Protein backbone atom coordinates (compact mmCIF):
# COMPACT_ATOMS: atom_id res chain seq x y z
CA UNK A 1 0.00 0.00 0.00
CA UNK A 2 1.41 3.38 -1.05
CA UNK A 3 0.17 5.31 1.96
CA UNK A 4 -0.74 8.99 1.95
CA UNK A 5 1.41 10.84 -0.56
CA UNK A 6 2.22 14.51 -0.19
CA UNK A 7 4.06 16.93 -2.42
CA UNK A 8 6.24 18.84 -2.32
CA UNK A 9 8.20 17.45 0.62
CA UNK A 10 10.04 20.72 1.06
CA UNK A 11 9.16 24.20 -0.17
CA UNK A 12 10.94 27.49 0.34
CA UNK A 13 9.11 30.52 -0.96
CA UNK A 14 9.15 34.27 -0.61
CA UNK A 15 6.57 36.19 1.33
CA UNK A 16 3.61 37.11 -0.82
CA UNK A 17 3.91 34.14 -3.14
CA UNK A 18 1.21 31.53 -3.60
CA UNK A 19 1.88 28.09 -2.18
CA UNK A 20 0.02 24.93 -3.17
CA UNK A 21 0.41 21.71 -1.24
CA UNK A 22 -0.89 18.48 -2.70
CA UNK A 23 -2.16 15.24 -1.24
CA UNK A 24 -3.19 11.84 -2.49
CA UNK A 25 -5.02 9.87 0.22
CA UNK A 26 -4.96 6.11 0.60
CA UNK A 27 -7.18 4.54 -2.02
CA UNK A 28 -10.65 3.83 -0.68
CA UNK A 29 -10.41 6.17 2.29
CA UNK A 30 -13.31 8.56 2.58
CA UNK A 31 -11.97 11.02 5.15
CA UNK A 32 -9.17 13.43 4.42
CA UNK A 33 -7.54 15.76 6.94
CA UNK A 34 -5.11 18.66 6.74
CA UNK A 35 -3.03 19.37 9.86
CA UNK A 36 -0.37 21.96 10.60
CA UNK A 37 2.48 21.39 13.04
CA UNK A 38 4.59 24.13 14.61
CA UNK A 39 6.78 24.30 17.67
CA UNK A 40 4.57 26.94 19.25
CA UNK A 41 1.13 25.48 18.59
CA UNK A 42 1.77 21.78 18.16
CA UNK A 43 -0.47 19.76 15.85
CA UNK A 44 -3.56 21.65 14.68
CA UNK A 45 -6.42 20.40 12.54
CA UNK A 46 -7.05 22.87 9.72
CA UNK A 47 -9.88 21.20 7.80
CA UNK A 48 -11.30 17.81 7.02
CA UNK A 49 -13.39 16.32 4.23
CA UNK A 50 -15.78 13.41 4.04
CA UNK A 51 -16.49 12.01 0.59
CA UNK A 52 -14.83 15.11 -0.94
CA UNK A 53 -17.10 17.51 0.97
CA UNK A 54 -15.58 19.89 3.54
CA UNK A 55 -17.08 19.06 6.94
CA UNK A 56 -15.21 21.32 9.35
CA UNK A 57 -12.94 24.18 8.32
CA UNK A 58 -12.99 26.00 11.63
CA UNK A 59 -9.25 25.43 12.02
CA UNK A 60 -8.33 27.30 8.85
CA UNK A 61 -6.48 30.31 10.24
CA UNK A 62 -7.40 33.00 7.72
CA UNK A 63 -8.96 33.65 4.36
CA UNK A 64 -5.49 33.31 2.89
CA UNK A 65 -5.88 29.56 3.38
CA UNK A 66 -8.14 27.45 1.17
CA UNK A 67 -8.51 23.72 0.60
CA UNK A 68 -10.20 21.74 -2.11
CA UNK A 69 -10.90 18.11 -2.83
CA UNK A 70 -12.05 17.83 -6.45
CA UNK A 71 -12.13 14.02 -6.34
CA UNK A 72 -11.56 11.10 -4.00
CA UNK A 73 -7.88 10.79 -4.82
CA UNK A 74 -6.63 14.37 -4.68
CA UNK A 75 -6.69 17.39 -2.41
CA UNK A 76 -4.89 20.72 -2.30
CA UNK A 77 -4.15 23.24 0.42
CA UNK A 78 -3.41 26.69 -0.91
CA UNK A 79 -1.96 29.72 0.85
CA UNK A 80 -2.24 33.03 -0.96
CA UNK A 81 -0.45 35.26 -0.18
CA UNK A 82 2.01 33.41 2.04
CA UNK A 83 3.57 34.99 5.14
CA UNK A 84 6.60 34.01 7.26
CA UNK A 85 4.30 32.91 10.12
CA UNK A 86 2.89 30.23 7.80
CA UNK A 87 6.20 28.38 8.02
CA UNK A 88 5.34 24.94 9.40
CA UNK A 89 5.00 21.30 8.53
CA UNK A 90 1.69 20.56 6.85
CA UNK A 91 0.38 17.02 7.12
CA UNK A 92 -2.29 15.39 5.07
CA UNK A 93 -3.98 12.32 6.54
CA UNK A 94 -6.77 9.97 5.58
CA UNK A 95 -9.01 7.39 7.17
CA UNK A 96 -11.74 4.94 6.36
CA UNK A 97 -14.99 5.56 8.18
CA UNK A 98 -15.99 2.77 10.48
CA UNK A 99 -18.38 2.34 13.29
CA UNK A 100 -15.79 3.36 15.84
CA UNK A 101 -12.22 4.38 16.39
CA UNK A 102 -10.86 4.24 12.87
CA UNK A 103 -7.16 4.93 12.49
CA UNK A 104 -5.95 8.12 10.81
CA UNK A 105 -2.97 7.55 8.50
CA UNK A 106 -0.53 10.42 8.00
CA UNK A 107 1.63 11.41 5.08
CA UNK A 108 5.29 12.36 5.47
CA UNK A 109 4.45 16.06 5.54
CA UNK A 110 5.25 19.14 3.48
CA UNK A 111 7.88 21.33 5.13
CA UNK A 112 7.11 24.93 4.24
CA UNK A 113 9.45 27.84 4.84
CA UNK A 114 8.32 31.35 3.93
CA UNK A 115 11.11 33.92 3.89
Residue numbers at the binding site for another protein (CB under 8 A): 4, 31, 33, 42-43, 45, 48, 50, 55-56, 91, 93, 95, 97-109
Residue 48 CB, shortest distance to another protein, in Å, is 6
Residue 12 CB, shortest distance to another protein, in Å, is 16
Q: What is the DSSP string of 10-49?
A: EEEE-TT--EEEEEEPPTT--EEEEEEEETTTEEEEEEEE
Q: Considering only CA atoms, which of 21, 30, 9 is closest in space to residue 73?
A: 30
Nearer to another protein, 20 or 37 (CB): 37
104: number of Cβ within 10 Å: 16
Nearer to another protein, 71 or 103 (CB): 103
112: number of Cβ within 10 Å: 21
Residue 108 CB, shortest distance to another protein, in Å, is 5
Nearer to another protein, 77 or 109 (CB): 109
Nearer to another protein, 70 or 98 (CB): 98
Distance, in Å, from the CA atom of 79 to the CA atom of 106, rounded to the nearest integer, reads 21
Amino acid sequence: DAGVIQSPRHEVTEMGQEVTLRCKPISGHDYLFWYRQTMMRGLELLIYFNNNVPIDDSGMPEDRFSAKMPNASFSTLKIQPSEPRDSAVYFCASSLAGTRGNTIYFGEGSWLTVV
